Amino acid sequence: MTRIEKRVLIRNSLLGFMLTLLVLFADWSGKDGLLARLENNLYDLRAKRCQYFTPPPTDRLIHLSIDDPSLQYMGQWPWSRSMLGDLVDEMRIAGAKAIAFDVLFTEEQAASFQLADQDDHQATAASDAIVERIVGSFDRVDEDAYFAAKLADFGNAILPASFAPRRAASRLHMAVYEILTKDLLLSEEEVRPLLVDADLGDGLVAFRSTVAEARKDAIYFRMMRLLDTLPDEERESLTEDKLRHLMFPEGITEMSAKLPPGLFTQQYRRATSFRALRRLARPIPPDMPPMIPVVPSLPPIPVLASAVQATGFVDHLADRDGVARSIELWRNGENWLYPQLGLMLACATLDVKIGDIELHRDRIVIPKPDGTRLTVPLFTQSTNFSTVDCGMFMLLPWFGPSSRDTDWTRMYDRSPSDNGKQFLPVLKVWEILDVQKTIRRNNLRMSDAIGYILKRSDPTKMVTFANLKLSDDDVQSRIQWLDDITSSGDLDSATGETHKLSPAEFEEILESLPEEEHEPLRIAVAAAKALPQFKQTTLDMVGKLNERRAWLRNEMNGKAVLVGFTATGRIDVTPTSLLPSCPGPVVHGVVFNAIMNGDVWYRASPWVTRGLTLLVGLLATAIVAYFHPVNALLSSIAVAIGYLLFNGLFLFDYNNYIVGLAGPLVAILLVWSGCTLMRFIVERAERRHIENRFRSYVDPALVNFVIDNPDKIHLEGESRELTVVFTDLAGFTTLSEKLKERVVPILNEYMARMVTIIRNESKPSNRRGYRNKFLGDGIMFFFGAPYHNAAHAVDAVATVLSMQEAMVAFNQWLADQNLTSVSMRAGVSTGQMVVGDAGSPDASDYTVLGDDVNFGARLESANKATGTLVMVSQRTRELCGDLFLFRPLARLQVVGKTESALVYEPITYHETATPKQIDYVARTSAMIDAFTRGAFMECIELILNMVESMA
């Protein structure tokens, strides 16, 4: 393992561990934490998609829905309590095991006066007995008492109460409450001076509202304390007036004047109702966790509270994002525990008494009739209503096909053909009442017709029939009387067989009779003709009634019935993990299903999730540290998917075990991304460090080229026309002998100045020179590689001229240090060269090779013979064109060459050349030309002239 790899491993390991700790901290902050929303979304996703091992839902629950069609045909809510009682009675007949209403009956309903047959019944004076019967049918119906009686007859009925959560009371509320408990009749003006150091709120309106709420609480709790102190017999006979006298012995008049109208009556009903419900609660056992503070606000009215055998609260809290994922199973109402409605309905169906349920801090145990014991895990969580975590919460185990659609009526379907059969509209039960009403109406009409016939045929029988006082539902007795009338001749005796005549014949008979006989005979004949129709119609309706009751029994027999609203505008909508909007009764049904099926979800300790987060984070750290980034990415994705499947299918779906998803998944993502970024940064920094170090040994041009084009440099090299330059310092050897080791800083200064010119950062990369080697006090560099450069000769000559100019400043620097000056000689050669890596595979050098390279070195040393500083080859001169002013020097033949080559000295840029320099170059060119032609005398003459002109 290389040093860089070790450094990356160490840094990635530390970073991965720190990022994992960061995720743990974010997860530690709980429901208000940074991961809360993601955790909730993943929780909902599991509930929707992971139901492969979910057991079939219970078939022992019927949701009886108060839906839109029911309200359309049965009338708008509120329905009469007598009709609700009849509905309960029909469910009793159908064999329902238990009934729970998800409807609050908090207001009394006025009594009604009902005629037995309100539609078509007509009273006549034909018989005193019949008239007496008709008048007697106007009865005062106590709606609440009737409903209560039907609930009591059913027995296993549950009416709910509301125990609404309440935030901690303000200091002002508590201060006002303490004052009013001592004197309930104090006015607002009398309360205000008694407040000491109490914030009056936002103004007078807020203060008045606080006083009103505090007065309600003070009256209610004083009533409850007083009721608790009374003996049972006295409490049962206690009326509102008696309680008023007990609470205000000073005078009722003063109380009536100072209390708001109806306030005492309202709190009396509330107190007596909750006092009646207390028998259905259970004391709080010791060592229970804190519970959400609630207000016992909306109980059923006293007569109904006394009639039922069980109650339950219907309030439930959603999570902070508004989604119902958990529900309380118990609430503390004035130090008594009240069960949740769905739990109570399940226990009623199982014949489990509320007192038989075992209560613990973290679970309840329900002993089932079959001997099994269902343990329901409970947990505590933070809420908006308490500063401490509150307990008694149960996870809602959602289920059903609606996990993949939005139709909550299909939750209980076991097959597509079920089509929501466990959700019935209450209209289906009301239709039985409607048929029964028609039968009763026909029975009354049949009774009247029988009475009319007997009145004319046999008054004694009429009295006997009237005294029977047949019930409105007695069809068989009436048919027997009808058959008896027909067979005994009473029918013909009453009508004189005129009922057998056609209407025209009957009118002729009437004309022959006295006028006072016309109307009685008409009635008798009409009754005689209607009797067969009444009989057949009634028998048909009885058959229809039996058929519908048989259907309802098939649906409800032995099952629990949950009655609640699903109608538009009245629906208690709750967002859930499965559905964006779900009726409140469905939530209670989920609790019921969990108890009946034993299908409850277990919430893992937060430490389990934290341990998995740490484990997965460390695993991701190891993956990123040891694998290549691409392999690390694929491995991290595999770990994330594997954990998703393990958590969703094995832990959650198969074992009903809820373990956090967000923490481990975020740990994988954060560790992979953070460590990968760190690896990139570290490697980039190391690479930059190496590059910087490498640049001090190898020209940056090569470094940059290798980085940009890693596949362009070949070991065998390539042939290319390039320009190479060799330089050397004349006089430096003497200087070095004099200064010895102190010459190194001077050489470094020289090299720094010259290399800067060679690399010329202001030019594009391909126009810069490549410094190949330091040759003692000399430099070898070339142009045209590694980047292609068509102007390599021009750039080489321009660089050499710039270096010569820089020598002036360098010599001045030497003079400042009392050192002798030096001069730089340069040889520039252009030609075909082999450029590339030279050497062994593990020790190579990027350089140029060839005759023209050697020629450049010869040109540098040839400057000694010609007395020049710069000498360039003829090919260099050709490629530069007229850009520079060149002076021809001579034709040279170097060692190893059979032909001589013309060489030149670059003087300056052509555009900046002086006339003297131009003349000097012209004279030199003529001299060289004469010498080349063999005109030596002419050459000597030209030399003499040039010397004379320079004198």
Handedness of CA 505, 509, 512, 517 (dihedral sign): negative
Is 853 in contact with 724 (CB distance < 8 Å)? yes
The helix (run of H) or strand (run of E) holding residue 584 is: helix 584-597
Note the pLDDT of residue 134: 37
Question: Reduced to 3 DSSP states, what percent helix, strand and coil does the chain have, rounded to the nearest 5?
Answer: 55, 15, 30
For 575, the 3-state DSSP assignment is coil
Residues belonging to the chain? 951
- Distances in Å between the Cα of 57 and the Cα atoms of 53, 363, 413, 513 are 12, 22, 8, 75
Q: Retrieve residue 487's tokens.
A: 């067979």
DSSP 98: E
Tokens 């057991």 belong to 55
DSSP codes, 682-694: HHHHHHHHHHHHH
Nearest-CA neighbor of 751 among 822, 817, 835? 822
Q: Retrieve residue 155's tokens.
A: 């027995």
- 432, 434, 437, 441 alpha-carbon torsion, rounded to 10°: -130
DSSP codes, 808-834: HHHHHHHHHTT----EEEEEEEEEEEE
Instruction: Kindly report whether the peptide bond that precedes residue 290 is cis, defined as omega within 30 degrees of 0.
Output: no
For 221, the 3-state DSSP assignment is helix
Cβ neighbours around 308 below 10 Å, total: 24
Note the pLDDT of residue 139: 64
* Segments of the chain scoring below 50 in pLDDT: 116-137, 403, 715
Note the pLDDT of residue 345: 97
Cβ neighbours around 802 below 10 Å, total: 15
Note the pLDDT of residue 203: 65
- b or e along 330-349 (b: 16 or more beta carbons within 10 Å of the residue's beta carbon)? bbbbbebbbbbbbbbbbbbb
Sort 812 into a burial class: Cβ within 10 Å, 0-12 / 13-18 / 19+. Answer: exposed
Note the pLDDT of residue 703: 64
In degrees, to the nearest 5, what angle opens at C-alpha 658 toward C-alphas 653 and 661? Answer: 100
Handedness of CA 808, 809, 811, 816 (dihedral sign): positive
Q: What is the largest CA-CA distance in the chain?
A: 184
Instruction: Kindly report whether the peptide bond that precedes residue 700 is cis, defined as omega within 30 degrees of 0.
Output: no
Q: Retrieve residue 648's tokens.
A: 């969703």
The helix (run of H) or strand (run of E) holding residue 590 is: helix 584-597
Measure the N-to-C terminal CA separation of the chain; round to a whole number of Å.
74
Note the pLDDT of residue 393: 95
DSSP 499: G
Using DSSP bridges, classify how beta strands 423-425 and 61-66 pair: parallel, antiparallel or unpaired: parallel
Residues 6+ apart with CB under 8 A from 236: none
Query: How far is Cα 218 from Cα 173, in angstroms, rounded to an integer?
Result: 11
Q: How far is CA 433 from the centre of its chain?
A: 47
Query: How far is Cα 925 from Cα 425, in angstroms, rounded to an integer?
Result: 119
Tens of pLDDT, residues 412-441: 888 878 788 899 999 999 999 999 999 888
User: How large is the C-alpha radius of gyration of the chain?
Assistant: 55
Alpha helix locations (H) across 57-127? 68-74, 81-93
Note the pLDDT of residue 846: 80
Note the pLDDT of residue 283: 92
Is 569 in contact with 109 (CB distance < 8 Å)? no
Is 306 in contact with 154 (CB distance < 8 Å)? no
Residue type, 308: V
DSSP codes, 61-77: EEEEEE-HHHHHHH-SS
Residue type, 915: P
Tens of pLDDT, residues 165-202: 877 677 888 888 888 888 888 888 888 888 876 555 55
Backbone angles phi, psi at 95, to 5 degrees: 90, 20
Q: Retrieve residue 59's tokens.
A: 């078939």
Q: Retrieve residue 226's tokens.
A: 């007083």
How many CA within 13 A on the CB side of residue 164?
A: 6
Is 382 in contact with 396 (CB distance < 8 Å)? no
Residues 6+ apart with CB under 8 A from 933: none
DSSP 791: T
Note the pLDDT of residue 835: 87
Beta strand spans in 262-420 (E)? 282-283, 294-298, 310-313, 326-328, 330-332, 336-339, 358-359, 363-367, 373-377, 379-381, 390-395
Note the pLDDT of residue 842: 63
- b or e along 436-446 (b: 16 or more beta carbons within 10 Å of the residue's beta carbon)? bbbbbbbbbbb
Handedness of CA 12, 13, 15, 21 (dihedral sign): positive
Using DSSP bridges, classify how beta strands 901-909 and 884-892 pair: parallel, antiparallel or unpaired: antiparallel
For 418, the 3-state DSSP assignment is coil
Query: How far is Cα 359 from Cα 285, in angstroms, rounded to an integer?
Result: 8
Beta strand spans in 450-598 (E)? 560-565, 573-574, 582-583
pTM of the predicted structure, to 2 decimals: 0.74
Query: How far is Cα 872 from Cα 829, in angstroms, rounded to an integer?
Result: 6
How many CA within 13 A on the CB side of residue 371?
A: 0
For 730, the 3-state DSSP assignment is strand
Residues 6+ apart with CB under 8 A from 322: 575
Query: How far is Cα 583 from Cα 342, in angstroms, rounded to an integer?
Result: 14
For 552, the 3-state DSSP assignment is helix
Handedness of CA 533, 536, 539, 541 (dihedral sign): negative
Note the pLDDT of residue 901: 85
